[in-house]
Amino acid sequence: MLDIRLIRSDTERVRAALARRQAEGLLDEVLALDERRRALQTEVDALRAERNTAAQAIGEAKRAGRDAAAEMTAAADLRDRLATRETALREADGAFETAMLALPNAPHESAADGMLEEDAQEHAVSRRPRPEFAFEPRDHLDLGGEMIDVERGARLSGSRFAYLLGDIVRLHLATVQFALDKLVGKGFTPVMTPVLVREEALVGTGFFPGDREQVYAVANADPELFLIGTSEVALAALHMGEILTEDELPLRYCGLSSCFRREAGAAGKDTRGIFRTHQFDKVEMFSFCHPDRSWEEHELLLSIEREIADDLGLHYRVMNIAVGDLGGSAAKKYDIEAWLPGQGRYRELTSCSNTTDYQARRLDARYRGAHGVRHLHTLNGTAITSSRTLIAVLETHQCADGSVSIPEVLQSFGAPAEIRAKR
């Protein structure tokens, strides 16, 4: 969440930043609620002081042998008034907390303007040219054939589920090992994360309350548990409530997990194949970073994503996402969009976001440095997935006979040299 002290001290700058996201109305609500709860807190503090004075007066009257009835009546009246104001304060605190949780992060000045997906700005293009074919390119479902079985997946679990079989599994595991090897070489620690988390982790990362409809809940769990849509949630909560030391930073993790998304609102969209599924595996980068270096760290994560895409032989463009299309916690986000020959267009492959101190404040993740204890900055970025990475590799490296020639870098991690579906 945003720092309420910053909101109070530099209101107009925060308002101007949030206006880019058309969220200034939420800021006005926060300011009004903050003023009310602070006024109530002043009243409650004054009444508590009066209550203490009244209690002393009753004690003095009794010690002096005087009738303390008047003092006791006054004390009872104070208790009633205090109870009423304390209830009002609790309600005001709750409303303020709810409003603060709804307030999105202030976008960075370099994030693209606009409220729509199409307002994203092209930031860079890969060195590799767009693949050209002397034949009509197939899509991943045709190339994978029986090894990408969406029909049996739907029969088992419903739409947007699939079985991956045979060489497609070997290809996916090779991409995982390739990504982990690269990230470990760059100082990331591999983590196998839990896929079930408590509500506080989803609130802490900013997915709740806004994206609740996208998350699967385990209703019979006590407390209620939720399936993660990304290991970002579990990685961000790794140091929840902790104070790190400055010399530990940055702490970089790469999380390997299955991910689950309801894809609410995506009915009829990307229904063919495995581009948009309810379950997939992913390697996610996550960094706990010193606030003064988080923008350098953001560019580092982007460079790693580009390096992975380059190594896989993909053509892509990097998009600076418009502020209106940012997730609530992000101050800036880059998407890498790969060219998918089977679709004949660019589609999102990976993304990386700087959430500044927004998640760290909600999770109370801090560090101790020369200037005392401060909140960390957190960043996240996708390395590979078992859906879109597979699609991009299959469609980019297809051959005229319907086979796929797998990049050598993946063969060294166990992928077959060629994938050929039965026809």
Candidates 30, 373, 180; CA nearest to 365 is 373
CB 279 within 8 A of CB 302: no
Angle at the Cα of 144 from the Cα atoms of 138 and 145, rounded to 5 degrees: 95
Kind and range of the H or E run holding 246 = none
Question: Which residue out of 160, 170, 347, 388 is catalytically annotated?
Answer: 388
Question: Which residue out of 348, 368, 374, 405 is catalytically annotated?
Answer: 348
CB 20 within 8 A of CB 107: yes
155 is catalytic: no
Q: Put residue 284 in one of left, alpha, beta given phi > 0 → left and psi -120 to 50 → alpha.
A: beta
Angle at the Cα of 152 from the Cα atoms of 279 and 159, rounded to 5 degrees: 50
276 is catalytic: yes
38 is catalytic: no
Q: 19: which 2 tokens?
A: 């206006």
Q: Which amino acid is at 99?
A: A
Candidates 49, 53, 4, 45; CA nearest to 27 is 4
**Residue 322 φ then ψ, to 5°:** -65, 145
The answer for residues whose C-beta is within 8 angstroms of residue 298's C-beta and 6 or more apart is 332, 334, 352, 353, 354, 379
Within 5-127, strands assigned E span 121-125
Question: Which residue out of 126, 294, 329, 351 is catalytically annotated?
Answer: 351
Q: 378: which 2 tokens?
A: 């957190």
Give the DSSP letter of residue 262: -
299 is catalytic: no
CB atoms within 10 A of CB 138: 20
Question: Which residue out of 252, 261, 306, 362 is catalytically annotated?
Answer: 261
127 is catalytic: no
CB atoms within 10 A of CB 21: 21
Q: Which residues are catalytic?
A: 261, 276, 348, 351, 388
